[in-house]
């Protein structure tokens, strides 16, 4: 058994959730599905540096003398794709993103394999505001609530409602002020436990304490206009990040954040040149974890219950002791 579901029942439930959520997200945000790359050329600057230090998996095209990198996310690629496909203001795209993150520390919610919906939408320059960001978050939260109602209706004897009616907005500085003696991850647990659903805003910049809540790559999200969607997960008794998103950098915030991150050498990369020359549209976008959504809605204790990956012998042994079936 795999908790509430047999392994075969789990596969059926995963498909139901993914199909429903994907359809509702596309409808709510006016998104069109597109195909996306699994690997990119490193010199384009399109790969995602995540916190700014993770090293992507790379390999050589032996016959052509070309190095390629497996994508870590599609945050930058999506923005160039919007221009290439000719999307207008108010229109956007989404794609299934599969990535390998070799620097990940494995646990109940972290895997070497990442599967998420990556989405991006064209906005006006005047939409680069906190109000527009919060409106977008509320739209996405409605999709989460609809999905919960849908899957709970299919399995009324197995699942129960966990999401509140509204999502709480709070900045990383306000969160630090609330819990100044706690580490960032503990602060997230505390605020998520209280409100059940939280959008933690303004991640990446330095707080008044001199620290950062969490590091973010300087070249896609505007650190003043971004955030994470966090839900309280009663199964693991901790917060669970379901999405990282934000309004993307313009040339001014890119210049500032590259300087703060000591990463001005990236200006020579193709993607960064396009941004600095104002050749790309203004956008908002993010990633939404597919396996984490399934894990949350299906009350799973381990992400390996909803995705096939590779685990250490210690993790496998511990899951066997707890009667957790890993795919």
Q: Known catalytic residues?
A: 48, 101, 116, 228, 241, 244
Query: Which is nearest to 124 in space by CA: 224, 34, 276, 250?
Result: 250
CA distance 199 to 243: 9
Q: What are phi and psi of 87, to 5 degrees?
A: -70, 145
Q: Are 80 and 271 in contact (CB under 8 A)?
A: yes
String of DSSP letters for 166-180: S-EEEEHHHHHHHST
DSSP string, 196-226: SEEEEE--SSBPTTSSBSS---TTSEEEEEE
Q: Tokens representing 53?
A: 């230090």
* Residue 7 CB neighbour total at 10 angstroms: 12
Which residues are CB-neighbours of 15 under 8 A, at least 6 positions away? Answer: none
SS3 content of the chain, % helix, strand, coil (to 5): 40, 25, 40
Token pair for residue 92? 């956007």
Q: Are 236 and 193 in contact (CB under 8 A)?
A: no
């Amino acid at each position: 058994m795999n908790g509430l579901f047999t392994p075969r029942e789990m596969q059926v439930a995963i498909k139901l959730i993914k199909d429903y959520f994907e359809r509702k997200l596309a409808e709510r945000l006016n998104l069109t599905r597109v195909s996306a790359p699994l690997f990119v050329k490193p010199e384009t600057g399109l790969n995602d540096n995540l916190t700014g230090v993770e090293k992507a998996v790379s390999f050589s095209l032996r016959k052509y003398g070309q190095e390629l990198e497996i994508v870590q996310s599609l945050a930058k690629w999506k923005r160039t794709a919007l221009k290439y496909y000719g999307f207008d203001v108010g229109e956007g795209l989404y794609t299934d993103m599969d990535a390998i993150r070799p620097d990940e520390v494995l646990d109940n919610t972290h895997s070497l394999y990442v599967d998420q919906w990556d989405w991006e939408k064209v906005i006006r320059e005047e939409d680069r505001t906190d109000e527009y960001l919060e409106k977008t978050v509320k739209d996405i939260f409605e999709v989460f609530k609809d999905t919960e109602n849908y899957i709970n209706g299919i399995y009324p004897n197995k699942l129960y409602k966990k999401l509140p009616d509204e999502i709480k907005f709070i900045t990383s500085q306000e969160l630090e002020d609330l819990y100044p003696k706690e580490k960032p991850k503990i602060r997230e647990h505390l605020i998520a436990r209280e409100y059940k659903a939280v959008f933690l805003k303004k991640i990446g910049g330095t707080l008044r304490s001199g620290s950062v809540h969490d590091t973010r790559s300087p070249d896609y999200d505007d650190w003043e206009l971004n955030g994470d969607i966090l839900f309280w997960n009663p199964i693991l008794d901790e917060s669970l990040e379901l999405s990282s998103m934000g309004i993307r950098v313009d040339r001014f915030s890119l210049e500032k954040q590259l300087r703060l991150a000591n990463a001005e050498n990236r200006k020579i990369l193709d993607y960064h040149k396009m941004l600095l020359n104002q050749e790309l549209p203004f956008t908002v976008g993010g990633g939404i974890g597919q396996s984490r959504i399934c894990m949350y809605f299906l009350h799973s204790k381990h992400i390996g219950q909803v995705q096939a990956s590779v685990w250490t012998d210690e993790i496998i042994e511990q899951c066997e002791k707890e009667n957790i079936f890993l795919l």
